Protein backbone atom coordinates (compact mmCIF):
# COMPACT_ATOMS: atom_id res chain seq x y z
CA UNK A 1 0.00 0.00 0.00
CA UNK A 2 1.28 3.43 -0.96
CA UNK A 3 1.56 5.74 2.03
CA UNK A 4 1.21 9.49 1.56
CA UNK A 5 2.31 12.18 4.00
CA UNK A 6 1.33 15.86 4.01
CA UNK A 7 4.16 17.71 5.72
CA UNK A 8 3.59 21.36 6.70
CA UNK A 9 6.92 22.77 7.86
CA UNK A 10 9.60 25.34 7.12
CA UNK A 11 11.89 25.13 4.09
CA UNK A 12 15.47 26.27 3.58
CA UNK A 13 17.30 26.61 0.28
CA UNK A 14 20.61 25.58 1.84
CA UNK A 15 20.85 22.93 4.56
CA UNK A 16 18.43 20.81 6.54
CA UNK A 17 15.56 21.94 8.76
CA UNK A 18 11.80 21.45 8.59
CA UNK A 19 10.67 19.86 5.34
CA UNK A 20 14.27 19.59 4.11
CA UNK A 21 15.02 17.51 7.20
CA UNK A 22 11.89 15.34 6.95
CA UNK A 23 11.20 14.75 3.26
CA UNK A 24 14.30 12.91 2.03
CA UNK A 25 14.42 10.39 4.93
CA UNK A 26 10.69 9.66 4.57
CA UNK A 27 11.07 9.14 0.81
CA UNK A 28 14.03 6.84 1.38
CA UNK A 29 11.75 4.75 3.63
CA UNK A 30 9.12 4.51 0.91
CA UNK A 31 6.68 7.31 1.75
CA UNK A 32 5.24 9.74 -0.78
CA UNK A 33 5.66 13.23 0.71
CA UNK A 34 3.64 16.31 -0.24
CA UNK A 35 5.31 19.39 1.29
CA UNK A 36 3.80 22.75 2.13
CA UNK A 37 6.55 25.18 3.14
CA UNK A 38 5.43 27.44 5.99
CA UNK A 39 8.48 29.63 5.36
CA UNK A 40 11.05 29.72 2.60
CA UNK A 41 14.39 30.97 3.91
CA UNK A 42 17.86 31.03 2.37
CA UNK A 43 19.17 29.00 5.34
CA UNK A 44 18.28 28.39 8.99
CA UNK A 45 18.32 31.32 11.39
CA UNK A 46 21.40 30.12 13.29
CA UNK A 47 23.59 31.65 10.57
CA UNK A 48 24.80 35.25 10.71
CA UNK A 49 22.45 36.17 7.84
CA UNK A 50 19.20 34.82 6.47
CA UNK A 51 16.57 36.07 4.02
CA UNK A 52 13.22 34.80 2.85
CA UNK A 53 9.45 34.73 2.87
CA UNK A 54 6.77 33.57 5.30
CA UNK A 55 3.60 31.83 4.08
CA UNK A 56 0.39 33.41 5.41
CA UNK A 57 -2.68 31.50 6.57
CA UNK A 58 -4.50 32.69 3.43
CA UNK A 59 -1.71 31.43 1.13
CA UNK A 60 -1.73 28.09 2.95
CA UNK A 61 -5.47 27.83 2.34
CA UNK A 62 -5.03 28.63 -1.39
CA UNK A 63 -2.50 25.79 -1.75
CA UNK A 64 -4.76 23.36 0.07
CA UNK A 65 -7.76 24.44 -2.06
CA UNK A 66 -5.78 23.52 -5.20
CA UNK A 67 -5.12 20.04 -3.85
CA UNK A 68 -8.78 19.69 -2.89
CA UNK A 69 -10.14 20.86 -6.25
CA UNK A 70 -8.21 18.06 -7.94
CA UNK A 71 -9.61 15.56 -5.41
CA UNK A 72 -6.13 14.45 -4.36
CA UNK A 73 -6.54 15.47 -0.72
CA UNK A 74 -6.29 11.90 0.62
CA UNK A 75 -3.49 11.40 3.15
CA UNK A 76 -2.39 8.61 5.48
CA UNK A 77 -0.27 10.92 7.64
CA UNK A 78 0.08 14.62 8.43
CA UNK A 79 3.31 15.93 9.91
CA UNK A 80 3.67 19.43 11.37
CA UNK A 81 6.55 21.26 13.03
CA UNK A 82 7.49 24.88 13.67
CA UNK A 83 4.79 27.52 13.32
CA UNK A 84 5.03 31.05 14.69
CA UNK A 85 1.65 32.52 13.85
CA UNK A 86 -1.75 31.75 15.45
CA UNK A 87 -3.81 32.30 12.29
CA UNK A 88 -1.49 29.95 10.35
CA UNK A 89 -1.72 27.30 13.07
CA UNK A 90 -5.51 27.59 13.19
CA UNK A 91 -5.65 27.12 9.41
CA UNK A 92 -3.53 23.97 9.85
CA UNK A 93 -6.10 22.76 12.42
CA UNK A 94 -8.95 23.33 9.91
CA UNK A 95 -7.08 21.37 7.23
CA UNK A 96 -6.33 18.47 9.59
CA UNK A 97 -9.98 18.28 10.70
CA UNK A 98 -11.11 18.16 7.07
CA UNK A 99 -8.53 15.50 6.12
CA UNK A 100 -9.44 13.38 9.15
CA UNK A 101 -13.09 13.53 8.06
CA UNK A 102 -12.07 12.34 4.59
CA UNK A 103 -9.91 9.55 6.05
CA UNK A 104 -10.78 8.61 9.65
CA UNK A 105 -7.69 6.39 9.92
CA UNK A 106 -5.34 9.29 9.12
CA UNK A 107 -2.51 9.65 11.65
CA UNK A 108 -1.42 13.15 12.69
CA UNK A 109 2.17 13.46 13.94
CA UNK A 110 2.68 16.76 15.76
CA UNK A 111 5.96 18.24 16.95
CA UNK A 112 4.66 21.11 19.13
CA UNK A 113 7.67 23.38 18.62
CA UNK A 114 7.42 26.15 21.20
CA UNK A 115 10.72 26.43 23.05
CA UNK A 116 13.45 24.72 25.02
CA UNK A 117 15.50 25.06 28.22
CA UNK A 118 12.83 27.15 29.95
CA UNK A 119 12.33 29.74 27.19
CA UNK A 120 9.67 30.07 24.50
CA UNK A 121 10.84 30.98 21.01
CA UNK A 122 7.35 31.41 19.56
CA UNK A 123 4.75 33.99 20.64
CA UNK A 124 3.01 32.96 23.88
CA UNK A 125 -0.43 33.15 22.27
CA UNK A 126 0.39 29.93 20.37
CA UNK A 127 0.27 27.90 23.60
CA UNK A 128 -3.55 27.96 24.01
CA UNK A 129 -3.97 27.04 20.31
CA UNK A 130 -1.68 24.03 20.77
CA UNK A 131 -3.34 23.09 24.05
CA UNK A 132 -6.98 23.43 23.03
CA UNK A 133 -6.96 22.74 19.28
CA UNK A 134 -3.79 21.05 18.02
CA UNK A 135 -2.90 18.45 20.69
CA UNK A 136 -6.48 17.04 20.86
CA UNK A 137 -6.18 16.23 17.11
CA UNK A 138 -2.71 14.67 17.37
CA UNK A 139 -2.19 10.90 17.32
CA UNK A 140 1.57 11.07 17.88
CA UNK A 141 3.12 13.94 19.88
CA UNK A 142 6.87 14.67 20.18
CA UNK A 143 7.43 17.51 22.68
CA UNK A 144 10.68 18.11 24.55
CA UNK A 145 10.47 18.36 28.35
CA UNK A 146 9.81 22.13 28.38
CA UNK A 147 7.00 21.84 25.79
CA UNK A 148 5.41 18.92 27.68
CA UNK A 149 5.50 21.00 30.88
CA UNK A 150 3.93 23.99 29.08
CA UNK A 151 1.11 21.82 27.68
CA UNK A 152 0.27 20.08 30.97
CA UNK A 153 1.23 22.75 33.52
CA UNK A 154 3.23 20.10 35.41
CA UNK A 155 6.99 20.16 36.07
CA UNK A 156 9.16 17.10 35.43
CA UNK A 157 11.78 16.51 38.14
CA UNK A 158 11.70 12.71 38.27
CA UNK A 159 10.98 9.78 35.95
CA UNK A 160 7.64 9.38 37.79
CA UNK A 161 6.76 13.02 36.91
CA UNK A 162 7.62 12.24 33.28
CA UNK A 163 5.29 9.23 33.28
CA UNK A 164 2.49 11.34 34.82
CA UNK A 165 2.99 14.11 32.25
CA UNK A 166 2.76 11.57 29.39
CA UNK A 167 -0.49 10.23 30.91
CA UNK A 168 -1.85 13.79 31.09
CA UNK A 169 -0.94 14.28 27.41
CA UNK A 170 -2.71 10.99 26.52
CA UNK A 171 -5.84 12.39 28.19
CA UNK A 172 -5.59 15.44 25.92
CA UNK A 173 -5.75 13.26 22.78
CA UNK A 174 -2.58 11.56 21.47
CA UNK A 175 -2.21 7.76 21.73
CA UNK A 176 1.58 7.98 21.40
CA UNK A 177 3.73 10.51 23.26
CA UNK A 178 7.52 10.75 23.13
CA UNK A 179 9.40 13.27 25.29
CA UNK A 180 12.32 13.67 22.91
CA UNK A 181 14.71 15.07 25.51
CA UNK A 182 14.55 15.66 29.27
CA UNK A 183 16.87 17.01 31.97
CA UNK A 184 16.50 13.79 33.96
CA UNK A 185 19.80 12.20 35.01
CA UNK A 186 20.79 9.12 33.00
CA UNK A 187 21.85 5.96 34.81
CA UNK A 188 24.66 5.81 32.24
CA UNK A 189 26.15 9.16 33.34
CA UNK A 190 26.12 12.74 32.09
CA UNK A 191 27.16 11.82 28.55
CA UNK A 192 23.58 10.70 27.92
CA UNK A 193 20.21 12.40 27.43
CA UNK A 194 17.07 10.68 28.68
CA UNK A 195 13.99 10.40 26.43
CA UNK A 196 10.68 8.89 27.55
CA UNK A 197 7.88 7.37 25.50
CA UNK A 198 4.37 6.09 26.09
CA UNK A 199 1.95 4.31 23.76
CA UNK A 200 -1.61 3.41 24.65
CA UNK A 201 -2.37 -0.27 24.11
CA UNK A 202 -5.40 -0.81 21.86
CA UNK A 203 -8.60 -1.66 23.64
CA UNK A 204 -7.14 -1.30 27.14
CA UNK A 205 -6.59 1.44 29.68
CA UNK A 206 -2.90 0.64 29.95
CA UNK A 207 0.11 1.85 27.99
CA UNK A 208 3.62 0.71 27.13
CA UNK A 209 6.14 3.10 28.71
CA UNK A 210 9.78 3.21 27.69
CA UNK A 211 12.93 5.08 28.65
CA UNK A 212 15.86 5.53 26.28
CA UNK A 213 19.36 6.90 26.90
CA UNK A 214 20.66 8.93 23.96
CA UNK A 215 24.43 9.56 23.60
CA UNK A 216 25.16 13.33 23.75
CA UNK A 217 27.30 15.14 21.19
CA UNK A 218 28.97 18.44 22.09
CA UNK A 219 27.64 20.66 19.30
CA UNK A 220 24.47 22.49 18.36
CA UNK A 221 22.66 20.85 15.48
CA UNK A 222 19.64 22.33 13.74
CA UNK A 223 16.92 20.18 12.16
CA UNK A 224 17.39 17.17 14.42
CA UNK A 225 13.94 17.57 16.03
CA UNK A 226 12.35 17.62 12.57
CA UNK A 227 14.27 14.48 11.62
CA UNK A 228 13.21 12.79 14.88
CA UNK A 229 9.48 13.42 14.28
CA UNK A 230 9.73 12.20 10.66
CA UNK A 231 11.59 9.03 11.66
CA UNK A 232 9.15 8.31 14.48
CA UNK A 233 6.33 8.59 11.92
CA UNK A 234 8.13 6.10 9.65
CA UNK A 235 9.15 3.57 12.28
CA UNK A 236 5.80 3.59 14.14
CA UNK A 237 4.25 2.89 10.71
CA UNK A 238 6.53 -0.14 10.30
CA UNK A 239 6.14 -1.20 13.97
CA UNK A 240 2.64 0.05 14.86
CA UNK A 241 2.28 -1.64 18.24
CA UNK A 242 5.91 -1.65 19.30
CA UNK A 243 7.02 1.77 20.52
CA UNK A 244 10.25 0.28 21.92
CA UNK A 245 11.49 -0.84 18.48
CA UNK A 246 10.19 2.31 16.73
CA UNK A 247 12.07 4.54 19.19
CA UNK A 248 15.26 2.43 19.03
CA UNK A 249 15.30 2.74 15.24
CA UNK A 250 14.46 6.45 15.34
CA UNK A 251 17.22 7.24 17.85
CA UNK A 252 19.68 5.00 15.96
CA UNK A 253 19.05 6.92 12.71
CA UNK A 254 19.64 10.17 14.61
CA UNK A 255 22.85 8.81 16.11
CA UNK A 256 24.30 7.75 12.74
CA UNK A 257 23.38 11.06 11.05
CA UNK A 258 24.77 13.17 13.92
CA UNK A 259 27.96 11.13 14.20
CA UNK A 260 28.65 11.46 10.49
CA UNK A 261 27.84 15.19 10.68
CA UNK A 262 30.14 16.00 13.62
CA UNK A 263 33.03 13.96 12.18
CA UNK A 264 32.76 15.83 8.88
CA UNK A 265 32.30 19.22 10.58
CA UNK A 266 35.43 18.75 12.72
CA UNK A 267 37.47 17.78 9.66
CA UNK A 268 36.33 20.94 7.86
CA UNK A 269 36.87 23.22 10.88
CA UNK A 270 40.36 21.91 11.62
CA UNK A 271 41.93 21.03 14.98
CA UNK A 272 40.90 23.22 17.94
CA UNK A 273 38.26 25.19 15.99
CA UNK A 274 34.52 25.06 16.67
CA UNK A 275 32.60 24.13 13.51
CA UNK A 276 30.40 26.85 11.96
CA UNK A 277 26.62 26.48 11.38
CA UNK A 278 27.32 25.75 7.69
CA UNK A 279 29.79 22.99 8.60
CA UNK A 280 27.26 21.47 11.04
CA UNK A 281 24.48 21.01 8.46
CA UNK A 282 23.20 17.44 8.75
CA UNK A 283 24.88 14.89 6.46
CA UNK A 284 21.55 13.60 5.26
CA UNK A 285 22.24 12.30 1.76
CA UNK A 286 25.47 10.68 2.94
CA UNK A 287 23.45 8.81 5.59
CA UNK A 288 20.96 7.23 3.16
CA UNK A 289 21.98 3.63 3.99
CA UNK A 290 21.70 4.28 7.75
CA UNK A 291 18.26 5.85 7.32
CA UNK A 292 17.03 2.83 5.36
CA UNK A 293 18.46 0.24 7.69
CA UNK A 294 19.85 1.69 10.93
CA UNK A 295 22.20 -0.49 12.97
CA UNK A 296 20.68 -0.32 16.47
CA UNK A 297 22.98 1.58 18.82
CA UNK A 298 20.64 2.04 21.80
CA UNK A 299 18.26 -0.17 23.69
CA UNK A 300 15.08 1.25 25.16
CA UNK A 301 14.08 -0.08 28.53
CA UNK A 302 10.46 -0.86 29.25
CA UNK A 303 9.16 0.88 32.37
CA UNK A 304 6.53 -0.95 34.37
CA UNK A 305 3.75 1.20 35.78
- Dihedrals φ, ψ of 131, to 5°? -65, -50
Q: Which one of 139, 213, 226, 290 is the catalytic residue?
A: 226
Instruction: Yes or no: say if 138 and 108 are a contact pair by the CB < 8 Å rule.
Output: yes
Sign of CA dihedral 239, 241, 247, 250: positive
Q: How are beta strands 52-54 and 115-116 bridged, if at all? A: unpaired
Residue 294 near residue 239, CB atoms below 8 Å: no
Instruction: List the alpha helices (DSSP H) in 121-242.
Output: 126-129, 145-152, 159-172, 224-238
- With a CB cutoff of 8 Å and minimum separation 6, the contacts of 157 are none
As a whole number of angstroms, the distance between CA 113 and CA 115 comes to: 6
Burial class (CB in 10 A: 0-12, 13-18, 19+), 220: exposed
Phi, psi of 163 (to 5 degrees): -65, -45
Residue 242 among the catalytic residues? no
What is the spatial distance between Cα 53 and Cα 230, in angstroms, rounded to a whole number?
Answer: 24
Residues tagged active-site: 226
Amino acid sequence: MECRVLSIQSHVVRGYVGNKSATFPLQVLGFEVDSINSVQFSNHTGYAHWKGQVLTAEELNVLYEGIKLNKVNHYDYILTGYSRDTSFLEMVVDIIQELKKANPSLVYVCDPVMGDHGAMYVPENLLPVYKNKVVPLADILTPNQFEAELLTGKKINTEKDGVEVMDLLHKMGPDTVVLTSTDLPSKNGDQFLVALGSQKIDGTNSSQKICIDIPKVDAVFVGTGDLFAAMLLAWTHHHPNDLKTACEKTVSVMHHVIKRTITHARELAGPGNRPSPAQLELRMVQSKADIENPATVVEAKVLHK
